Amino acid sequence: MKLALCLALPLALFSQTPPAAETKPAPPPPNPKSTVYFNPRSGAEDPRIGLKGGLYDAGEAAFGLQRVGSLPKPPGFAPGNSFVAPAPPPEPPAPGAAAEPATPPANPNQYGSTNSDLAFSGNHLFVGNYNGINLYDIDSPANVKLRTSIVCPGGQGDVSVYGHLLFMSAEAMNGRTDCGTQGIPLPAGYVAPPPPPAEPTKPGEPPARVRRPPPPPSPDRFRGVRIFDISDIANPKQIAAIQSCRGSHTHSLLIDPKDKDNIYVYISGTSTVRQAEELPGCIAEGPDKNPDTSLFRIDIIKVPLAHPEQAKIVSSPRIFTDVQTGNIAGLWKGGNHGADTQTTSVTNQCHDITIFASAGLAAGACSGNGILLDISNPINPVRIDAVSDPNYAYWHSANFNNSGTTVLFTDEWGGGAQPRCRATDPMIWGADAIFTLKDRKLTLSSYYKMPAPQTEFENCVAHNGSLVPIPGRDVLVQSWYQGGISLVDFTDPMHPFELAYFDRGPIDGAKRAMGGQWSTYWYNGYIYGSEISRGVDVMKLVPTKFLTQNEIDASNQVHFDELNVQNQPKIVWPSSLVVAKAYVDQLARGTSVTAKRIADLNAAIAKAEAGPTDKKAAPALKPLAASLEKDAATVKTVADANRMKALAAILNEKAR
Amino acid sequence: MADFARFVPTALLLLSTVTAFGQSGPSASDSPKIIQPGAPGQPGKTLTPETAAGPRRSPAKADIEFMQGMIMHHSQAVEMTDLMPTHTRNKILLALGQKINVSQTDEIGFMKQWLTERGQKTEMPMAGMDMSNMKGMDMSHMHHEMPLMPGMLSPEQMKALAKAKGAKFDHLFLTGMIQHHQGALTMVEDLFDTPAAGQDAVLFDFATDIDNTQLAEIKIMKALLLKEKK
C-alpha cells in the first residue's frame, strides 16, 4: 500500500456550463480515453452492491468462491490494541508552566494494526502486519491456527520466507533494531534547536524558508530488511538487520538457480532518505545536486546461506538510467500525459518487483513506469524495456502469466486508502493494465478493474494477487482492498473478464474506515486473504459456468513447498488425466474442437481412468492425441491450440 | 557480531522464555506465544496478550498538528476551486480545479478519519483560545489570527483571487496553487525534521507519498503557466 496525497490533477472533463456559484457543483466523472479494451462496470443486479457494513458481521456476496474459514487478528494486533506510535517526546517544561498530562485517545485503536502481505512455507502461513508478523498453522485450511506472533513494528512488514529464514521489510520512522514498540524517543535532556524565522511568501514563489535542523540521528532506528531464524517456529530470533537509506517498502527474493550458496533480496524503498549521520553514505539530495543520490536506484542484498547473519547490500543499481545520455533519472519525469490523462508520479523508486527467475526476467512496478529487467546477473539487473501509461497514477505491482507472454501490472491510484471504485471512478484508472510480452517488449493489450461499484466508505483500488494454477488458462486471484477479491481470467490478454469474486460490505457502513484485502494468494488448493482489519480469510474455488470441477481439481494437482508471490514460481502440471479433463472442458467451451471429438475424448479418458481392467483403454488415447496435434496447427485461437498440444502430450504419455 | 556473542544471549533468551511461561500459568503452553525478538544476537522477550497490546498512547503532538494543519491547508484549496465556475471559462483550468476539488475532499476525509480514530479534534485549536494545549507549536507568527500553514494564501491573496476574473483569475489561481502545493512539501519536510514525529506508520505512509506525487502536479501547473505567456 502507498497512501497518496494527491493534491492535484489528473485532468478530467469539467462541466461545460459553469454552474451557479451558490450551489456547489456535483462533480462530473472524469472521462479518460482508452485505446484498448477494458471490462465494463457491472449493473445494478450485482449482488456486491448494497452489502451491509460491519467489522465482523458485514454482508457477503460471492460467486465461484466459498469462504471456508476466517480468523480475527490476535492480541497485540487486534482491534482495541494501542496504536503503534511513540509516546510524545519528553519536552523540557517551559519555565513557569505546569507539566501537561498526556491525554490518551478517547477511543482505542478501532481496527488494530494493519495486516499486509503473505508468504507460505510447508504448512505455515506468514502474515505481515504494521506491528510484526503472525505465523499460522494451515494443516487444516478451514481451521487456521495461530502458532506464534512476532511483535516487531516498522512499517508495512512485507514478508518472504526461504527455508528457515523469514524476511521482513521495515521502512517507517518508528522501526527499531531491537523490535521495540516505543519508537525512537528523544535522548534525555534533548532540546530542539529553535525553528528558523517564518518568512512571508510571494505569489508563485515557493515559501521562502530556512529548513529546520534535522532531529538527532538514532543508532536504534531500523529501516531496511530484517532476517529472522524460524528453525524453532515457536521462538523466532532476529539474526540480521540490513539497514538501507530509504528503508524497505517491499522486497523480493531472487533465487539464482546457478548460485547454490547465496540468495538475493531486491529492496524497493519509497520513502524519504535518512540522514548520513544516521546511516553513512545516504544522500537525500536529488541527482541535480549530487550524482551519488540515494534516490533513483534499488538496493540488492546478498544473503550467504551458510552465514545469513552476514547478509549485506552488495549493489545499488541505477535501473532508471537513460542509456543514451547516462542520466540516472532517465525515465518518467512526473506530470500528466496531456488532456484527460492521469497524473503519474516521477520514477525515482520501484514500489515492487516481481522476479520470474525461470524466464530470467523481473517486472518492476516503479512509480511512473513499468519496467522489464534481465536478471541473468542477480546483482546487476539490466533494464530491457520500460513503459508508461496515460491512465496510470502509480505503478504498484506486477505478475507474469505462467508462460511469460503476458505481464499484468497494477495501478494503486490514490495509494490504497482512498475509495477509487465508486461508480464515478473511471474503469481504466486504478486498474490492472495487461501487457503482452513479445521479443522482450511490452505492449498494452487491455485494462481490467473489479467491476462492482463500491461505496465512498470503502478504500478500493487494484492490489496484490497471485496466479491460480488452472492449466490452460491465465487466472489471477487479486485483492481490491474493500472491493474484495476478484479473479480475473486474462488468458486472452485483449479481453480479460471476471471469473469469480468475494466481497463484504464496508468495515463501517456510515463512515470511512480502513480495511479490506491487502493480499490474496493461492496456495495448495486454497486462497488465503490478509484482511487489513478483520484478520485472515480462507477461500476455495467452487464450480460455475466459467469454471468446472475438473479445472479446479487440475489446479489442486499443483503443490508448492514454499511460496513468495513476488518470487514467482514457474508452475508445472503433472501429466495426469485430471489435468487432461480440465483441457477437454476448456476446449468444449470454444469452437476449435467439434462436439463429437469432445465426447470421444471424455469417453476415452473415462475408460483410461477406470484402470487396468480395460487393456485397450490406454492405447485408444494415442490416435486421439495424434489428431489433436494435427488440428492444433490450424486452430485460430492460440489458447485452444496450446490446450490441444498440452492435452495431446498427456494422452500420449498415458497411452504408453 | 562475533560468534560467541550470539551464543550467550541465546541462553539468556531460553531462560527468559521459561520465566515468562512460569508466570502465565500451566495453560499457557497451549496458547500461541507472542515473541518480541531482540536485536540480532540479543535475547528476545515473550509477551503476554496484555503486554503485547501495550499501554494506550497518544500520537505525537507534531503528528496531530500536521494532520490538523493539512486539513486546513486542503480546505483552502477547495475554497479556491469553488471560485472557479464563476470566475473562469478556461476549460483546462476548470478540469484541473475539478480534480483538485475531488482529491482534496477525499484526503480531508482520510485525515479526519485518522484524527477521529485517535480521539483527536479534526480542527486546530484557534489562537486566542486555550493556549495551554499548544505548547510546542511555533506561535511566533500567529498573533491572534488563524495560523497559516506553509504555502497557504494570505487573506489578501484570497481577496485578490476572489476579485479577479478571466485570464487574471487563471494566473492568480495557478501561481497561488503552485505556492499552495509547494507548501505541502514544506509541511512534510518539517514533519520529518521534527524530533520524534512521523512515527505513526499510517501517517508516515501518507506524508511520505506527498513527496512522491507533489512535484508531478506542480510540474503540470508550471507548464500551464508557461503556456499562458505564449
- Say if residues A489 and A545 touch (Cβ distance below 8 Å): no
Please determine, for residue B175, whether its predicted confidence score (pLDDT) is greater than 50: yes
| Beta bridge partners of residue A480, listed in sequence order | A482
Q: How much is the pLDDT for B227?
A: 84
pLDDT in tens, A519-540: 999 999 999 999 999 999 999 9
Confidence class of residue B35 from pLDDT cuts 50, 70 and 90?
A: very high
Angstrom distance (rounded) from CA A50 to CA B134: 43
Q: How much is the pLDDT for A30?
A: 67
CB contact residues (below 8 A), chain B span 90-149, against chain A = 91-92, 94-104, 106-107, 109-110, 113, 117-120, 132-133, 135-136, 138, 140-141
Contact between chains at B190 and A419 (C-beta distance less than 8 A): no
Contact between chains at B56 and A24 (C-beta distance less than 8 A): no
Angstrom distance (rounded) from CA B32 to CA B193: 40
Of A21, A76, A204, the CB nearest to B86: A21
Please determine, for residue B58, whether its predicted confidence score (pLDDT) is greater than 80: no
Report which of B7, B152, B139, B155 is spatially closest to residue B69, judged by C-alpha positions.
B152
Q: Where are the domains of chain B?
A: 3-53, 61-125+146-229
Mean local confidence (pLDDT), A264-271: 96
Angstrom distance (rounded) from CA A470 to CA A499: 12
Comparison of pLDDT for A227 and B147, the residue scoring more = A227
Please return the burial class of B138, using the count of CB atoms within 10 Å of its CB with bins 0-12, 13-18 and 19+: middle
**Chain B partners within 8 Å of A198 (Cβ):** 138, 140-141
Please determine, for residue A193, whether its predicted confidence score (pLDDT) is greater than 70: yes
- Say if residues A48 and A60 touch (Cβ distance below 8 Å): no
Please determine, for residue A654, whether its predicted confidence score (pLDDT) is greater than 70: yes
- C-alpha distance from B57 to closest chain A C-alpha (Å): 5
Angstrom distance (rounded) from CA A498 to CA A489: 6
Q: How much is the pLDDT for B54?
A: 66
What's chain A's average pLDDT? 90
Confidence class of residue B199 from pLDDT cuts 50, 70 and 90?
A: confident
Q: How much is the pLDDT for A341?
A: 87
Please determine, for residue B119, whether its predicted confidence score (pLDDT) is greater than 80: yes
Place of cell 541465546: B10
Mean local confidence (pLDDT), B185-205: 85
Q: How much is the pLDDT for A463?
A: 98
- Say if residues A500 and A65 touch (Cβ distance below 8 Å): yes
**Which secondary structure element, helix H or strand E, spans residue A430, and what is its range?**
none
pLDDT in tens, A339-380: 788 888 899 999 999 999 999 999 999 999 999 999 999 999
Contact between chains at B200 and A174 (C-beta distance less than 8 A): yes
CATH 1.20.810.10 fits B61-125+146-229, yes or no: no
Mean local confidence (pLDDT), A470-493: 98
pLDDT in tens, B136-162: 444 444 434 556 888 999 999 999 999
ipTM of the complex: 0.89
Of B82, B99, B209, the CB nearest to A4: B209
Of B42, B212, B221, the CB nearest to A367: B212
- C-alpha distance from B159 to closest chain A C-alpha (Å): 13
Please determine, for residue A81, whether its predicted confidence score (pLDDT) is greater than 80: no
- Say if residues A333 and A314 touch (Cβ distance below 8 Å): no
What's chain B's average pLDDT? 77
Confidence class of residue A20 from pLDDT cuts 50, 70 and 90?
A: very low
Q: How much is the pLDDT for B126?
A: 62
Q: How much is the pLDDT for A67?
A: 98
